[in-house]
Amino acid sequence: VTLRSTAAVGDAADLDRVNVRGSRDAQALALNQQRSSVNYMNVVSADLLGQFPDNNIAESTQRIPGVSIERDQGEGRYVTVRGAPKEFAGSTGVELDTIPSDVIAALEVTKAITPDMDGDAIAGNINIRTQSALDRDGMTLRASAAMGRYQLGDGDNERYNATIGNRFGGDDNIGVLFSASHSRQGRFTDNVETTYTRFAAGRILPTAVEIKDYEGTRPRTGITGRFD
C-alpha cells in the first residue's frame, strides 16, 4: 500500500512517530468465544457495556444485533430476539430491568438453540454471566460514579458501582470477588391513553381519552459475591 500526501510540500510537517494502541481486554475474549462457538451467538463483555449508559440488563442486550427491547415508563424491561414475542425467549416474559448492568461479566445471546439449552426457549437464549476473580490476573478493582438530571420532570439520575476481587492460593486458583451497584432515578412520564369503539359502517372512533402524568423515583440496588 502506497500512501501519498495531498498537502503541499511547504505545508507538510515531520512527525516524530505515530502510535497505534489496541486494547486487549475482556471484549477480545468475548470475540474469541463467538468465533469458536458451534452455533450462532453474540457475546458482549462488561468492559464494552461500561461505555454505554445502560441501567439494566435489558437495555444492555439492545446493543446486540437482532435483539430489541420493550420499554416501560421509558426504561427497557423485556427482551425480544429476532422480532419474536418476548415469551419465545423463555417460558414467560422475564423482567430484566431488575438486574443492574454493572454486576455482570458478559452477556451471551444465542440465536440458534442447541439441545443442551432450556427447552422452553424458541427464539433465543440469554445467558447472564457473573463476574469472577479468575477472569483476570491479579487483583480486580473497578469503580465508577455518574450523576445527571432528566430534562423531563427535572429529576435526579445517580449511579454508583464498585467491584473488588483477588486471586489466592499457591497456583492462584482461588478467587473471591464482591460487586455492588446502586442507582436512583427520578422519572416523569407523560402518557395518553385512548379507548376506541367500532361503530356502524366500520367506523372506529375514540370514546375516551385519558391524559396521565407519572412522577416517581426508582431505586435499584444489586450486590453479588462469588467464590471460585
CB-based contact 170:222 (threshold 8 Å): no
Cα gap 89→125, rounded to integer Å: 6
Residue 70 to residue 95: CA distance in whole angstroms = 10
pLDDT of residue 195: 92
Instruction: Name the nearest CA neighbour of 57 among 123, 91, 110, 107.
Output: 107
pLDDT in tens, 46-83: 777 666 777 788 888 887 888 888 888 778 888 888 77
Q: How far apart are the first and last CA of the chain?
A: 49
pTM for the model: 0.64
121 to each of 91, 112, 117, how far by Cα in Å?
7, 10, 8
Q: Round to whole Å and give the CA distance between 48 and 146.
A: 17
Binned at pLDDT 50, 70 and 90, residue 92 comes out as low
Q: In a 3-state reduction of DSSP, which class is residue 161?
A: strand
pLDDT digits (tens, 9 = 90+) for 137-193: 889 898 889 888 877 777 788 989 899 999 998 888 999 999 998 988 888 888 888
- Distance between CA 189 and CA 207 in Å, rounded? 23
Rounded Cα distance between 68 and 54, Å, is 14
CA 94 centroid distance within chain: 15
Q: Which amino acid type is present at position 139?
A: M
- The β-bridge partners of 118 are none
